[in-house]
């Protein structure tokens, strides 16, 4: 693994400039969709659901929706987005002719993916707050959590991007990895509904610790499992960040 430099900011700036030119096309996916899910599931389905502790269902799912859509943002950015830049637009080839290195590009892309997660997480948090679903001032830390979560999911996505042959391979990534996490990481129902073996398995899913942390911050209720969740989140982030640096170098230097 080779080190990256501060120059990765140049890649981040390039992506930021493009985003603020074209953001209107992206807004529905990351603002409107989570609101629809929140309302349909929370109010619609929620009317038929009684939670054990008397909590409103919409209150229960809001922190998970924040975590999930932050995940989606980083994942889309560093799969379809990065792959398009790499293979179709040859943007990385052009950048490699300048003083930037493969590692600068990789880290710039990951930080940009994380920034997308940060923005999405913050926007949905604000919406949830407007619906009076945010109960604790600890929720102020949600954007920070979304950023860290974003680094993790952007790294995993970019790792996958660096090894796939074609853009169609991302169907597997979303169908077999991202979507199952959306349903089985405790976003829509407590993991305790599952048999014990599934409960333990769900801790493998990187979204699970994020949902736990997000729910604690939004609700202001802390328990000892959260330290474990934070440790898992940090460890997975460091692991996939490092691997993606290696696999991107392998992909881009021929």
Contact positions toward another protein, by CB under 8 A? 7, 10, 13-14, 17-18, 21-22, 89-91, 93-101, 253-254
Consecutive H or E run containing 246:
helix 225-252
Q: Rounded to an integer, what distance in angstroms lies between the CA atom of residue 91 and that of residue 118?
A: 24
Measured from the CB atom, is 94 or 238 closer to another protein? 94
Report whether 80 contacts 178 (CB < 8 A).
no
Q: Rounded to an integer, what distance in angstroms lies between the CA atom of residue 138 and that of residue 63?
A: 12
Measured from the CB atom, is 84 or 225 closer to another protein? 84
Measured from the CB atom, is 89 or 200 closer to another protein? 89
Measured from the CB atom, is 112 or 240 closer to another protein? 112
Report whether 82 contacts 58 (CB < 8 A).
no
C-alpha closest to that of 61 among 151, 172, 188, 212:
188
Q: How far is the CB of 149 from another protein (least distance, A)?
A: 26
Q: How far is the CB of 88 from another protein (least distance, A)?
A: 9
Q: How far is the CB of 25 from another protein (least distance, A)?
A: 11
Q: How far is the CB of 85 from another protein (least distance, A)?
A: 8
Q: Rounded to an integer, what distance in angstroms lies between the CA atom of residue 16 and that of residue 164?
A: 25
Show contacts of 13-17: CB within 8 Å, 24+ apart: 14/91, 14/108, 15/108, 15/109, 15/112, 16/112, 16/115
C-alpha closest to that of 53 among 126, 115, 135, 130:
135
Q: How far is the CB of 4 from another protein (least distance, A)?
A: 12
Q: How far is the CB of 79 from another protein (least distance, A)?
A: 17
Measured from the CB atom, is 9 or 239 closer to another protein? 9
Measured from the CB atom, is 52 or 254 closer to another protein? 254
């Amino acid at each position: 693994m080779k080190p990256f430099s501060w120059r990765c900011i140049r890649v981040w700036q390039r992506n930021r400039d493009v985003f603020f030119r074209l953001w209107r096309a992206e807004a529905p996916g990351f603002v409107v969709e989570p609101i629809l899910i929140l309302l349909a599931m929370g109010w619609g389905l929620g009317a038929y659901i009684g939670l054990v502790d008397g909590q409103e269902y919409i209150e229960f799912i809001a922190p998970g929706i924040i975590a999930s859509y932050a995940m989606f943002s980083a994942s889309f950015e560093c799969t379809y987005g990065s792959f398009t830049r790499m293979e179709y637009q040859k943007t990385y080839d052009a950048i490699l002719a300048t003083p930037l290195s493969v590692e600068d590009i990789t880290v710039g892309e990951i930080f940009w993916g994380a920034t997308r997660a940060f923005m999405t997480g913050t926007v949905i948090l604000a919406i949830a707050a407007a619906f009076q679903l945010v109960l604790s001032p600890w929720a102020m830390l949600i954007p920070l959590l979304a950023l860290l979560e974003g680094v993790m999911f952007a790294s995993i996505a970019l790792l996958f991007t660096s090894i796939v042959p074609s853009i169609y391979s991302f169907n597997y990534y979303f169908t077999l990895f991202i979507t199952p996490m959306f349903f089985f990481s405790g976003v829509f129902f407590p993991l305790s509904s599952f048999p014990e073996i599934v409960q333990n398995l769900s801790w493998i899913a990187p979204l699970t610790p994020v949902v736990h942390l997000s729910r604690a911050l939004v609700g202001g209720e802390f328990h000892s499992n959260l330290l474990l969740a934070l440790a898992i989140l940090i460890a997975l982030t460091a692991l996939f960040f490092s691997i993606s640096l290696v696999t991107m170098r392998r992909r881009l230097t021929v």
